[in-house]
Amino acid sequence: MKKFTFLVVAVLLTITCCERSTDETQNQFDPEVFLLTSNGLAYKFSDFELYDSSTHMFYFKTIHEEFENFENETFTFFDNGDTIYSGCFWPNYFSSIPAGPFISSTPSFYGNYVLRIEFWYDNKPDVRNCQDMIDVLQERDLLHAGLAVTISSVDINGMQLSFSFTVTNHDQTDLLILDPDKMGPALFHYYTIGLRIHDLEHNEVFTGNIVSEPPSPWNSWNADWLSELPSGESKQFTVVYTMNSSINPGEYIASFNYPGLSFQVAKDQLFQGTNRIWLGDIRISQLIKADSAGVSVSRIIDMITPEGNILNFAGIHHVY
């Protein structure tokens, strides 16, 4: 009887071990899975074409219409099964903004071949370009540095304000960018509010006041708006505003959002020959000083992030 009991226990243990082994085999994580959603969709590194670190945008090789219906899902990026960071899909009709990384959805502002990871600055660190993410993307040859934008000068002559900014291509690809000189100031300012100036107490003292003009039709784009910016090169643009009131001497925060195209560009239009159309936008803030009773505001002191951290010029670039 004891031998029989021992035999039964041994068989049961064997069955249990086999079941556990089978479960573990089924649950083994595919090291090629890079993105996993809470509804079970998995995307491998090979599904992606590139990541633009200047806009935190992932580009897929093909169209993925399933993302159009994501509302309350979460997502996680992995490196060989280890979590890099997680976030959520957040519907644009919500009146609130989540803490941490999120992807705007229903509707998205970009085509169904792009995922843009957003982050509204709070007391949490921005993990989107964390070192683990940069390393794994570099290893897979998916990392693209995109653009960097800096404020070159802000000059006032009477009630006329001349604003110059410089766009630099840090990408390994030649990029096509929106050119305000080709578009004209009205059309360019349909895609951006332009220059804004606040005092150090965050009181607004100037906002770009150029009346915008939408394209016709509103959801179209034209190749004539774009200029080629070769890899490693920079281009400076100047926009002229009329001021409603003068600026007193002192230190101010100058902010600018440099725009690119978004949902208008279809997947098969993204590359024009070997040049990639740069999508998204970059928001920058820099500390400036007005002197001589506000006549000259051309002195750029340094740059500040939206969190208020002061950076030097070398630190403005987002990755390396």
Q: What confidence tens digit (pLDDT) does each residue in 30-53 have? A: 999 999 999 999 999 999 999 999
Whether residue 310 is predicted with pLDDT greater than 80 in this model: the reply is no
Q: Please give the structure tokens belonging to residue 320.
A: 């390396």
Q: Please give the pLDDT value at position 28.
A: 62
d(CA 288, CA 255): 10
> According to CATH, what is the number of the domain 147-315?
2.60.40.2360
Strand positions, DSSP E, 187-247 = 196-199, 204-207, 226-229, 234-242
pLDDT interval class at 10 (50, 70, 90): very low
Report in angstroms the alpha-carbon separations of 194 from 70, 211, 299: 32, 11, 19
Query: Comparing C-alpha atoms, which of 144, 163, 150 is closest to residue 277?
Result: 144
Is the model's pLDDT at 313 over the cut of 50? no
pLDDT tens digits, residue range 155-203?
988 899 999 999 999 999 999 999 999 999 999 999 999 999 999 999 9
- Which range has highest mean pLDDT (1-10, 19-28, 117-126, 278-287)? 278-287
Per the structure block, which two tokens stand in for 104? Answer: 């705007």
pTM for the structure as a whole: 0.83
pLDDT, greater one: 95 or 184? 184
Domain boundaries defined on the chain: 33-139, 147-315
Which structure tokens are listed for 300?
A: 């750029």
Least confident residue range of 46-60, 116-130, 244-258: 116-130
- Residue 44's CB is within 10 A of a number of other CB atoms, namely 12
What is the rounded distance in angstroms from the CA atom of residue 282 to the CA atom of residue 54?
7
Radius of gyration of the chain (CA): 25
Helix, strand, or coil here: 166?
A: strand
Position 113 confidence tier, pLDDT thresholds 50, 70, 90? very high
| Residue 260 confidence (pLDDT) above 70 | yes
Contact 188, 163 (CB under 8 A): no
